[in-house]
Structure 1
Amino acid sequence: MSILKNVGLIVVAGLSTQAFASEFSFDRPGASFSTGTTPVGSLAWEQALPTASYKKSFIDGQNVETTTVHADMMLRTGLTDNLELRLGWQGPGWSRTTTAGRTEKEHGLGDISIGLKQAIDLNDEKLSMAILAEAQIATGNEKFTNDSDIYTLGSSVSYKYTPDLTTAITMLYAHEGDKLSVTAVPNIGYKLTEKWSGFSEFIYKKAEGTNVEYALGSGIIYAPNGRTQLDASIAIDLNGSADSYHAGLGVSYLF
């Protein structure tokens, strides 16, 4: 109940800020989220084509390789000038696990999520901010669900040094089962040409009862116009003895 109260307080605080028109931007790709919200009357569709992860580890004297693929998606629509509703779905998934030459294949549907993102007016042309309240509901099939619901509160702050260089940091505080976790994602975005841009990010996560997790990610974005975006990204986990990689292709469109 306290988590729901906190979510409500954040949304009310966001609604009480001075009205202004936040600059729209897609949230794909990467682990962070943008400071822009979807305009009222518009719908942003962000679709993975797909998202994939690969992990190779050594367990009980045997090599274990696991490949997982998801066609996750996110729908965003504006409720007010600076508040948006977010509906997500991890989509259909497929996995293959190979242990000492034996292969097992699984398929199923992933979890859904619902959230609100509010842009905050900082009265600064270069500095922007948004807050996020989101719940991931464990509705997916076995081996494609998180098992426990995840409630997340987050903030993202972005600073535009020049028209071609932007830095930002996203902070995520999550409650999963009986554990709390914090994730920090500092990142840098850079414009390569009028239609091409790139980003790099560092991911730090610490959950109760577990070791610190680190990852590095990078990607490239092609935006032929203000309503369409294509992206490709890759990330590598830096901690632990296992080899772990994440990659994704995606398309986003603003209707």
Structure 2
Amino acid sequence: MTILKKTTLVFAVTASMHSMYSMAADFEFDRPGDGFSTTTTPVGRLAWEQALPTAQYQEFRTLTGDKGNQTSLKADMLLRTGLMDGLELRLGWDGPAWSKTRFQGQHFEDDGLGDVTIGLKKSIDLKDDKLTMAVLAQALIATGNDGFTAHDDIYMLASSVNYKYSEGLTTGITMKYEVQNSDWAVTAVPTLGYKIAGPLSGYSQLVYRKAESQDYEYGLGSGLIYALSDRAQLDASIGVDLQGSNKSYNGGLGISYLF
């Protein structure tokens, strides 16, 4: 091999590696929070987003006025892979789950497997350096065990729009439209993202949901994200439901990696 060919090969490999890591640098994970990013997984890459785990504490009251509470844990996960430029396939699973219910001085434990989801996300080129958008079509397949399933399939169409004010501040909104057994529900998730220091950033969001024949639901969520590298992150989040007299909290830890 001549010196010219060797030099050309070295430059080609270097350019390819630079392109690969540039794509990784522009990529964003969807954890944590109730919204989703406007970026898609690069072609031929796989993103693994794993809860360690997700937790929920919920109080309830029966029609007779008796009080109880339930604590649940689940190790939900999401796999994302790029099919083509700007289009990704998403496979999710609510994972193994466990719950403990306390009622009238007794407690009941249960465990099982959750539902699965499959979807496609497409990023939309708005020809703007600061404004980005993506749409998501997703189906939840109710394959989980009793106590850890939605019981009926849920079909969702969603959009996410983000605006980058500066290097340290972004805002966005995710809109979700769902149908289950001909009943519709709409969810709006305005989100504020901000840099804190170095690789540490945070987010805050409001969750508004209205399901057919149901009362309005409101919630607040916030979390921290620590970027280990362009391809890996750790996250921690916490949220609270605001409607009704029954208390409900959720939170969790997670790890994400781009292969």
On whether the aligned pair clears a TM of 0.5, the verdict is yes
- Please tell me whether the aligned partners of residues 164 and 190 of structure 1 are also in contact (alpha carbons under 8 angstroms): yes
Q: Give the SS at the match of 1:219.
A: strand
Quote the Cα distance in structure 1 between the aligned partners of 2:24 and 2:220.
33
Residue 50 to residue 171, structure 1, CA distance change in 2 (3 Å): same
Aligned equivalent of 1:202, options 200, 206, 216 = 206
Quote the Cα distance in structure 2 between the aligned partners of 1:239 and 1:21.
40
Which shifted more, 131-140 or 51-60? 51-60
- Please tell me whether the aligned partners of residues 38 and 134 of structure 2 are also in contact (alpha carbons under 8 angstroms): yes
Which amino acid in structure 1 is aligned with residue 78 of structure 2?
M
Is 1:42 paired with 2:17?
no
Q: Give the SS at the match of 1:192.
A: strand
Q: Trace 1:82-101 onto structure 2 (pairs within 5 A).
A: 82-101=86-105
Quote the Cα distance in structure 1 between the aligned partners of 2:25 and 2:85.
7
Partner of 1:155: 159
Q: Give the SS at the match of 1:184.
A: strand
Partner of 1:28: 31
Is 1:140 paired with 2:144?
yes
Partner of 2:5: none
Quote the Cα distance in structure 2 between the aligned partners of 1:48 and 1:174.
24
Partner of 1:170: 174
Deviation at 1:61, TM superposition (A): 2.3
Structure showing greater radius of gyration is 2
Partner of 1:16: none
Is 1:123 paired with 2:127?
yes
Which amino acid in structure 1 is aligned with residue 193 of structure 2?
G
Aligned equivalent of 2:256, options 234, 244, 252 = 252
Q: CA RMSD in A?
A: 1.4
Quote the Cα distance in structure 1 between the aligned partners of 2:158 and 2:123.
12
Quote the Cα distance in structure 1 between the aligned partners of 2:148 and 2:210.
23
Deviations 1:118-161 (A, max 9, x none): 00000000000000000000000111110010000000000000
Deviations 1:14-35 (A, max 9, x none): xxxxxx9993100000000000
Which shifted more, 211-220 or 62-71? 62-71
Deviation at 1:224, TM superposition (A): 1.6
Aligned equivalent of 2:222, options 213, 218, 222 = 218
Quote the Cα distance in structure 2 between the aligned partners of 1:71 and 1:85.
21
Quote the Cα distance in structure 1 between the aligned partners of 2:91 and 2:137.
12
Deviation at 1:97, TM superposition (A): 0.4
Is 1:188 paired with 2:187?
no
Which amino acid in structure 2 is aligned with residue 215 of structure 1?
G
Structure 1 runs (4+) deviating above 2 angstroms are 20-23
Partner of 1:75: 79
Gaps of 5+ in 1: 1-19
Residue 21 to residue 64, structure 1, CA distance change in 2 (3 Å): closer
Partner of 1:235: 239
Quote the Cα distance in structure 2 between the aligned partners of 1:105 and 1:142.
13
What percentage of residue pairs aligned between the two structures are identical?
58
Q: Give the SS at the match of 2:26.
A: coil
Quote the Cα distance in structure 2 between the aligned partners of 1:248 and 1:81.
32
